[in-house]
Amino acid sequence: MGGRRRRTGRPAPDPLRTSLVHQDVRDEHPQGTATGDIATVSAPTPVGIGGLDVADFQDIARRYAAAIPGAALVGFPSAAHLIAMDAPTELLAALEPFLRREASRRGGSGAYR
């Protein structure tokens, strides 16, 4: 069983398999505008969207990004639903500049490690 490996040495999950496992949730989520407290989020928010995730979850990510003031939709083409597991390097590459910008904006050094 070749392929990608996690830091634990075990093979990383196949993103397509991860996505296909959850296909039965299609059309179970409300469509339309996100409601509730989501529009009150005031923190800068990156919203991840896995390119291999099921359509409903991609739609939810898009709606969250649209409803949260100032949110940014960040795409991960090689990931399904579990972005941190499917695309850890890409996630880190997206989060590091975001966290540095936010630390700098708040008057910090940008060091968060």
C-alpha of 73 from chain center: 8
What global pTM score does this model have?
A: 0.65
Nearest to 81, CA basis, from 59, 46, 108, 54: 54
In tens, the pLDDT along 47-93 reads 999 999 999 999 999 999 999 999 999 999 999 999 999 999 999 99
CA 65, 95, 14, 1: dihedral to nearest 10 degrees? 180
pLDDT of res. 72 = 94
Which ranges constitute the DSSP H helices of 22-78?
55-67
